Structures are given as structure tokens and as C-alpha cells.
Chain A
Amino acid sequence: MNKKDISESELRVFITAVTEYFQALAGEPAQVRSAYLGADLTVPQSYDYTGLITISGNYRGCVYFSCRQVLLRRLLVCMGENDHSEANLLDAVGEVANTISGNARKHFGAALEISVPVTIHGPTESIRAAVRARPFVITIDWLGQAAIVMIDLERLI
């Protein structure tokens, strides 16, 4: 099967999705610090909480969102959620990844099939090993807290 990388301009759909996510929930958009095609030495380490979406259909790859606990706590506060249990922190990081990926279908269409989120607290070496050498990396800042969105996506022709 032939494969084709997604163009950098197409991947910018995810930048819009991530900034709009925080704007809609908290009235404060995320600030994009950088967006680039990563290489081995420039792909940042993930933070302690990660939400992973697997992509299938006419596309293959994954999208993951990673941040520190304090960002998730602030997000839950913005949502009016007082329960900051581990289950809800994991739920929150998964929901961010799910929403960013789902919103990207506005551009890619229904052929970009997305999985339910897998959520991780702790090291994510196994994900990093699965991501190709040059994923698209978006680093953001929201309310003074850093986070990353990693997109590893190819179109099956």
C-alpha cells in the first residue's frame, strides 16, 4: 500500500484545534510556542500525563497530548470540576487528545478514524518508540503551563 505524509499546512489544522479547545473551555486560548517537524534531537520529552489517540481509516498514525498535572488541575477548575482524583486527571488528558483529533476531522473528513483515548501517567517510552522519526510537534503554553501535541500521521493512498 502506498503512503503519503500529511503536509505541514494540513497539520496546522491541529494548531487551530488545540488553541480553540482552551479558548472554548476557559476563555483563554493556548499560546503556540513552536510548531515544527521534529527530528530525533528536537522532539521534546513528554510530561507526566499523556493522552493518546490512534488513527486509522484512510490514515495511519497517532496523536498525543502531554502535560503536567498542574495544567490538568487548572483545566478541571475551568470546567467547574472539584474532583481532581487520578481518574479525572487521566480522563481530562484523554479528553483533550480526543477533542483535538476529532476536531481535525473538519479538515480531513470521516476517513480519519479515531480511537477512544488511551491515557498514561508516567513514562511514555513505548509511545515515543512507536512514533516515527519526524513527527509534527506543537509546543503550547496555557496559563503559564507548557504542554505538547505530537502528530504522527500519514495518508494511505
Chain B
Amino acid sequence: MMRLLIVDDSNIIRSRIMRIVLAGTLPGAQIVGMARDGMQAVMMFKAHQPDVVTMDLTMPNMDGIRCIEEIMAINPDVPILVISALADKTTAIAALRKGARGFLNKPFTEKQLVAALKEVISDDE
């Protein structure tokens, strides 16, 4: 069972991640919440205690880097996969230093997303 929280300010990206995750290539996957900014994500994380989180970085109210910090303070063991258009190394390193387990650049293919999720989950096993 993999209980996933999706965090992205774009509705079409949240929906796309959900469709890919529920398509069957990740057996037992379940979506426990979809948040449109970091503040909502922290609230949903506390409420649902997901097993894994996908995290956008550029979002209103609370950005992804700050949100990773907040989630790590609640549960430092949860795997977080950053999914962002920000393609520079500095940002990727900053996210990993804050506690993210993986980094996937937008735009992404279905195969890339599934592979990245499997990788962050396998790190946890």
C-alpha cells in the first residue's frame, strides 16, 4: 500500500499525477490528498499521514522548499519526490538538503514519473 499526497498549484498537473499513479503501474497506490499550496499540504499531511509526497516548488502562500521543511519537522522519514520545472542544480540540491528523496523535472512522461516514485519508495524499504 502506498498512500500518496500530491502537492502542486496546477490542477491539471495534480490530476495528471493522480491518473498516472492510479493507472495500475504502482500496485496498491492510493491518493489521500491533493494540495494546491504548501500551507494546505502541511494541513493535509498532518491529517492523513501519507507514505509518500510529490511536491511542486513554485507555489503561492508557502513554496515547496518551505513545505518540505515543515513536513520533515513532522515526519523526517517520509519520502518526498520534488516535481518542478525549476531545472537548475542549485534548486535540486537545496530540495535534497531539506530532506527530499528525489527530483523530477517538468515536463515529465508517465514512465519518468513511475520510475521516480518507485525509486523514492525503494529508498525507504
Would you give the 0/1 interface string for B18-46, flagging 1 where the beta carbon is closer than 8 Å to chain A?
A: 01000000000000000000000000000
CA distance A101 to B109 in the complex (A): 19
Instruction: Give the dominant DSSP class at A's interface.
Output: helix
Most buried by B among A25, A94, A99, A115: A99
CA–CA, A106 to B103, complex, Å?
A: 14
Chain A residue contacts of B75, Cβ below 8 A = none
The verdict on A103 contacting B85 (CB below 8 Å), with A20-B107, A24-B107, A114-B58 known, is: yes
Cα of A41 to Cα of B87 in the assembled complex, Å: 34
- Give per-residue flags for A102-121: 1 if the beta carbon is below 8 A from chain B beta carbons, else 0: 11111011100011100000
Among B56-112, those with CB < 8 Å from A are 58-60, 84-88, 90-91, 105-109
Interface size class of A (residues with CB under 8 A): 20 to 34
Q: Which residues from chain B sit less than 8 Å from chain A, CB to CB?
A: 9-13, 15-16, 19, 58-60, 84-88, 90-91, 105-109
16 new A-B contacts, CB < 8 A, other than A83-B15, A94-B10, A116-B60, are A21-B107, A24-B107, A24-B109, A76-B12, A79-B12, A79-B16, A80-B19, A98-B58, A100-B85, A102-B85, A104-B87, A105-B86, A105-B88, A105-B91, A110-B88, A115-B58
